[in-house]
Amino acid sequence: MMELEEESPHPEWVTVVGLKIRDQGEIKKARADGLVLKTGDHVMLELEGELTFGTVWTPPQPQPFIPPMRAMRSVLRKATEPEEAAIAHQQKLAHDGMDFCRERVSALGLHMKLVEVFGSFQRRVLTFNYTAESRVDFRQLVKDLARHFSCRIEMQQISTREEAQRLSGVDTCGLVLCCANFLTDFKPINLKLSRSEWVWSNDSHRIGVCGRLKCCLLFEQDEWYSPPQELIQLTRSS
């Protein structure tokens, strides 16, 4: 006689809100337990050890708790009146910083692409994220920026994959980029090229908008990209 499986306990429910961090990129999900929020509200949260802000794009929704949610960031609070004033200042600072920095980059002939500018709520620091194919001597640029904004300047070079995550976009599959939509961190994409180099060497469909192997390849089965031995021998002999 078969024993009936015990019913699983009722799942815990959490409140999840969709927001854009610093008004950029794709909508991110964050926990907002116990907070009353509506679309357009500003909230405070911690990102990479720094206090920053987000804008609510989708109102709070109750969802059953699942283990991956432990990696989901949490909203600290709805922005207070003084924080709203600070957010308005940070938005203007970021806009002005982007315009002035691009002007100076062009004037100095620097080969770099500015991705994002943002200020700190806790320090007098303005951070400029950029991408570049080679090393950039931005010493004069930093002097110009520090003189113009009267604060400490931090230049952070990021990868093209990080750029895609921050700015978002749509890939050849027609879906929003995995890195911008739901991935919380980047993991090395190990495709075991020693066994399948013939598959990837000329397959442009496996290259993302960032110019690197697509993050979604992490979810492929090993059997999908592991060719039969007979085909490997045929490829090597040709």
The phi, psi pair for 29, rounded to 5°, reads: -95, 140
Q: State how many domains the chain has.
A: 3
Residues 43 and 107 occupy one common structural domain: no
Pairing of strands 125-131, 13-21: unpaired
Share of the chain above pLDDT 70, in %: 60
User: Is residue 166 in a domain?
Assistant: no
The three-state secondary structure class of 62 is strand
Indicate whether 233 pLDDT > 70.
no
User: Is residue 168 in a domain?
Assistant: no
Q: Are 207 and 172 in contact (CB under 8 A)?
A: no
- The DSSP code for 117 is E
Task: Place 27 in a pLDDT band, splitting at 50, 70 and 90.
Answer: confident
Beta-carbon contacts of residue 52 (< 8 Å; ≥ 6 apart): 21, 22, 44, 45, 46, 118, 121
How large is the average pLDDT for residues 39-55?
93
Q: Are 232 and 195 in contact (CB under 8 A)?
A: yes
pLDDT per residue as tens digits for the range 164-182:
665 555 566 666 556 555 5
pLDDT per residue as tens digits for the range 136-161:
999 999 999 999 999 999 999 987 66
Residues 99 and 146 occupy one common structural domain: yes
Indicate whether 185 pLDDT > 70.
no
175, two tokens: 């879906």
Residues 134 and 93 occupy one common structural domain: yes
User: Is residue 59 in a domain?
Assistant: yes
Of 227, 172, 158, 165, which is closest to residue 198 (Cα–Cα)?
Answer: 227
Mean pLDDT of the chain: 77
**Rounded CA separation 156/125 (Å):** 12
Give the residue from 26, 56, 79 where a domain finishes. 79
Residues 32 and 90 occupy one common structural domain: no
Of 175, 23, 201, 223, which is closest to residue 215 (Cα–Cα)?
Answer: 175
Residues 204 and 154 occupy one common structural domain: no
Residues 104 and 75 occupy one common structural domain: no
- The DSSP code for 213 is B
pLDDT per residue as tens digits for the range 50-65:
899 999 999 999 988 7
User: Is residue 170 in a domain?
Assistant: no
**Rounded CA separation 19/42 (Å):** 9
User: Is residue 40 in a domain?
Assistant: yes
CATH of the domain at 90: 3.30.300
The interaxial angle of helices 139-149 and 81-108, nearest 10 deg, is: 140
Per-residue pLDDT at 228: 47
Polymer length in residues for the chain:
238
User: Vertex 49, ends 41 and 16: CA angle to 5°?
Assistant: 40
Share of the chain above pLDDT 90, in %: 44
pLDDT per residue as tens digits for the range 99-144:
999 999 999 999 999 999 999 998 899 999 999 888 999 999 999 9
Residues 150 and 99 occupy one common structural domain: yes
Residues 98 and 150 occupy one common structural domain: yes
Q: Which residues pair with 54 in a beta bridge?
A: 21, 43
Of 152, 146, 116, which is closest to residue 131 (Cα–Cα)?
Answer: 116
Q: Report the 10 Å Cβ neighbour count for 230.
A: 8
92, two tokens: 């203007």
User: Is residue 7 in a domain?
Assistant: no
User: Is residue 1 in a domain?
Assistant: no
Cβ neighbourhood burial of 100 (10 Å; 0-12, 13-18, 19+): middle
The model's pTM is: 0.68
Which domain covers residue 207, as residue numbers?
175-180+187-237
Of 91, 92, 104, 93, which is closest to residue 130 (Cα–Cα)?
Answer: 104
